[in-house]
Structure 1
Amino acid sequence: MNSIIKYVFMVAFAAACNGLLSIIFKFALNDHVNTSYLLLIGATIAVIFFALIIFIKKNVYFNLRQCLPLVIVGLFLGATAFTFSKAVENLSASMAVLLQFQFTWIAIVINAVYCRQIPSKTKVFAIVLILIGTVFATNIIGSGEAIHLSIVGVVFGLLCASCFGFYIFANEHIQADLHWSLRAFYIMVGSLIFTIIITVPDIMSNPQIEGQASLAITLTHSSILALFGYCIPIVFFAIGIPKVGATISAMLSALELPVAIIAAMFLLHESVSILQWVGVILIVISLLIREPKKATH
């Protein structure tokens, strides 16, 4: 049991790191860092980091049959970042987050279909709490503003949720027995490939790191993104999800939103409404719900 708790904390910590991404992007944008350079350099740093780990571990070897499925998983990870950025461009940040958080039930449905096992009533109740908490935490109800929906934005938001839901599912079922360093490297290579595809056209049209952001500032923000957006989450997901399972991991990943709200309050000095705190509390409560113990005879 204690070993499972260790893996639960790994998945939760990875989700918490993902919750810092919006803060990282906001600080980078405030320093006029080009998003394409930020994503590409960050992904490249992460690939180099994992390559160095593999180089240090002498007994790790490459296998093409193991590589390709995980590279494809990495493509979904890269697609998650891209589709979320597009959703934010076409929707309010709150609505984009609300759509992205549909990954909780999407991952659970994918896993249920694959395993041919219906989630328990306790898990379904926890998922409902997460979704209700997300509505409150994103402040859509309490903002008092009219909700304007863009079909393009909604599509990208749901695609983002689907990509991340599949990524969580794949971490449990695809090459789960492979050493975490190789799994992380292959996944990150796939993410880098997708990032290159989407950022190179913008970089080709804007080949210099222009604006007020110097190379040093861009590298600093990219390194922070590589650490909290790629290295830590990928490693901890790669180690923890196969042990905890996709269903529990999807629920634990909801911790991302409370962390994002609290970080925004302390680091960006954003105000948090009572309704948002209610949402945070509901999400935390949902993570503490446990299956009732079966009676023994």
Structure 2
Amino acid sequence: MHRSKATLFVLIGAISYGVLSTIVKLAYAAGFNSAAVSGSQFFFGWLMIFSLALFTKNLRLDLKTAGLLMLIGISSGTTGYLYYQSLQTVSASVAIILLFQFTWIGVIIDALAFRRLPSRAHFLSAILLIGGAILASAAYSSSLDFRGTLFGLGAAVSFSIFLLASGRIANHLPVIKKSFYMMTGGLAFVMTMYPPTTFLSSANFENGLL
């Protein structure tokens, strides 16, 4: 993929996460808890990706590859769980700043996992990102919550693991097919944390969750 196209996709992904923070905050303000928001998001997201996957020629995978992708998907579910916990006590602006610390955290994890020093460009980028985070934290210091901050940084670590792992496994697969198995793993984790009975209730839908 051409670098400019890849950069555009990353930008769209970043914007999507920023919008997501606001939507979750609106859902909390409407009286829904993290179980209803996170559980329904992963459930309906899985249904949508499954619907798209039905149009792929062959959805089946060997057991090892399917298991690895679902394991990676668990880190996606963990990211969502921690991120939504963070949004309960910190502002949407702070939460997204905390989540996007995955950029320099990923550099550290990559260096430790593969025993290689980061390049000069990666190192300088990490310094700039950490400096920006410190300045942003100072600007939003009045809305910082210790527990929410830990959840937000935990989401950043989890997201770093997800990106590093997904970028190295089964890249030969079609995007929809690969996403389906990862989303299945994420859904399995979220449903372990939040059983379907906690969000698939008539009361939630009658109150506007859908």
| Aligned residue runs from structure 1 range 147-296, under 5 A | 149-150=146-147, 153-200=148-195, 203=198, 207-209=201-203, 214=206, 217-219=208-210
Q: Which moved more, 1:27-36 or 1:105-114?
A: 27-36
Residues in 2 aligned to 1:82 and 1:98: alpha-carbon distance in whole angstroms: 17
RMSD: 2.9
2:209 counterpart SS class = helix
Query: How many residue pairs are counted as aligned between the two chains?
Result: 209
1:141 to 118, 138, 143: 138
Distance 1:142 1:196 in 2: 36
TM-superposed deviation, 1:207: 5.0
* Structure 1 unaligned regions, length at least 5: 220-297
Q: Tell me if the contact between 2:106 and 2:161 (Cα under 8 Å) persists in the aligned partners.
A: yes
Q: Distance in 2 between matches of 1:81 and 1:191?
A: 9
Distance of 2:149 and 2:142 partners within structure 1? 18
Provide closer, same or farther for how the CA distance between residues 23 and 141 of structure 1 changes in structure 2, counting only shifts above 3 A: same
Which residue does the alignment assign to 1:53?
Answer: 52
- When Rg is computed on C-alpha atoms for both structures, the one with the higher figure is 1
TM superposition shift of 1:75: 0.8
User: Aligned to 2:77, what secondary structure does the other structure show?
Assistant: helix
Deviations along 1:82-128, whole A, 9 cap, x unmatched?
Answer: 11233344x54366555433322221122233444322222211221
Query: Which one-letter code corresponds to 2:126 in the other structure?
Result: I
Percent of matched pairs sharing the same residue: 24
Counterpart AA for 1:184: S
Indicate how the Cα distance of structure 1 residues 69 and 144 shifts in structure 2: closer, same or farther if over 3 A, else same.
closer
C-alpha displacement of 1:61:
2.9
What is the TM-score normalised by the length of structure 1? Answer: 0.61
Distance 1:177 1:57 in 2: 14
Gaps of 5+ in 2: none
- The alignment partner of 1:209 has SS state of helix
1:268 corresponds to which residue? none
Work out whether residues 38 and 81 of structure 2, in 8 Å CA contact, stay in contact via their aligned partners in 1. Answer: no
CA contact (8 A) 2:82 2:155 kept: yes
- Give me the TM-score of the superposition, normalised by structure 2: 0.83
Shift of 1:171: 1.7
